[in-house]
Amino acid sequence: MIPSDPDFYKDILDQMSDGVFFVNRQRQILYWSKGAHRLTGYRAEEVVGRNCNDEILCHIDYLGERICEEACPVLDCLQDGCPREVKVYLRHKLGGRVPVSVRVQPIRNAAGTITGAIEIFSDDSAATDSRRRIEAMRRLAFLDHLTQLPNRRFMEMALVTALTEYRMHKDPFGVLMIDLDHFKKINDAHGHRTGDRVLQEAARVLSASLRPDDLVGRWGGDEFVAIIRGVTPESLGDMGKRCAGFTAHTDISTGVGQRISLTVSVGGAIAEAEDTVDDLVHRADVVMYREKERARGHSAA
């Protein structure tokens, strides 16, 4: 006999590792699972009764654009009754970005009328593969232990390999030099422990913003380098904007009621046949500092 008690089904949903929530036609959240709490940091009592589009999770898409108003899969599903599957990035309660796969289904009453929607979202960060890669790099001393990204030694070797492949096979690639803005001020104002958390969060955001075949590592201090494969100057610029856009939608808590918003300056350069690693990184670095100065002049104006 199938149980009719709604709490029975909620208990089952609470056992899922995926996040689950229900909304009504007005997108008001009626149920929030324990899996949703684990993935987002928000408890049920913090979100039930609120609308899913009032910036609780602040979903952004592949390009770093907010989707809660114009491209919301829940809203689209409520309007046409068609299921949706999308990959987005939600904002964790602590400020970081979490890549998730989202599935939305309409909820209908006995008459077939749409009365709401259910969203199921699962962690899409490929954590298992990431842990395996991290462990391999740790054994080879190629890991930056603070950010869990490849360190400068590894990135220099990867750049040598990419340049060799480019000369042999003409496989185009580019480099992004990425620098955290105002990092010294953050360290001075909030201490090195908070500065370390900023670097760790920036590393997570940058990793999430790149494609699976791209590679980002910590170059040193507050600088990161990314190797972007199969790009033109235009698409490399788009990837730089994407990294900057993802970071600009990220903030972290200082633990004393304050939040620090993160921004980065990004410069890019396309590899050329005669390049050394230093040549390529230097060109990207020059563009990055030019962009940083441009941003300072714009803010001063």
State the chain's mean pLDDT as an integer. Answer: 85
User: Quick check: is 175 in a domain?
Assistant: yes
Claim to verify: residue 203 and residue 116 sit in the same structural domain: no
* Average pLDDT rounded to a whole number, residues 192-197: 91
Claim to verify: residue 137 and residue 264 sit in the same structural domain: yes
User: Quick check: is 236 in a domain?
Assistant: yes
Claim to verify: residue 144 and residue 266 sit in the same structural domain: yes
User: Quick check: is 247 in a domain?
Assistant: yes
| CA neighbor of 73 nearest in space, from 57, 49, 95 | 57
Write down the pLDDT at residue 15: 72
Claim to verify: residue 244 and residue 212 sit in the same structural domain: yes
146 within 8 A of 196, measured Cβ to Cβ: yes
End-of-domain residue from the set 100, 123, 146: 123
* Average pLDDT rounded to a whole number, residues 8-13: 64
User: What CATH number is associated with residue 283?
Assistant: 3.30.70.270
Claim to verify: residue 70 and residue 188 sit in the same structural domain: no
Claim to verify: residue 13 and residue 68 sit in the same structural domain: yes
pLDDT single digits (tens) 91-148: 888 877 788 888 999 998 888 899 999 999 988 765 546 666 666 666 667 889 899 8
End-of-domain residue from the set 123, 154, 173: 123
Claim to verify: residue 209 and residue 92 sit in the same structural domain: no
The domain total for the chain is 2
pTM for the predicted model, two decimal places? 0.60
pLDDT single digits (tens) 217-269: 999 999 999 999 999 999 999 999 999 999 988 888 877 778 888 999 999 99
Rounded distance, CA 150 to CA 134, Å?
Answer: 8
71 within 8 A of 56, measured Cβ to Cβ: no
User: Quick check: is 1 in a domain?
Assistant: no
C-alpha distance from residue 33 to each of 8, 12, 29, 254, 284 (Å): 13, 10, 11, 27, 45
Claim to verify: residue 138 and residue 202 sit in the same structural domain: yes
| DSSP code, position 92 | P
162 within 8 A of 269, measured Cβ to Cβ: no
Which one has a higher pLDDT value, 160 or 128?
160
pLDDT single digits (tens) 54-99: 767 777 776 677 777 677 888 899 999 999 888 888 888 887 778 8
User: Quick check: is 184 in a domain?
Assistant: yes
Claim to verify: residue 223 and residue 267 sit in the same structural domain: yes
Q: Return all residues near 9 (Cβ < 8 A) that are at least 6 apart.
A: 3
Claim to verify: residue 184 and residue 281 sit in the same structural domain: yes
Residues 224-239: b if buried by 16+ CB within 10 A, e if exposed: bbbbbeebeeeebbeb
Write down the pLDDT at residue 235: 93
> Domain limits at 20?
6-123
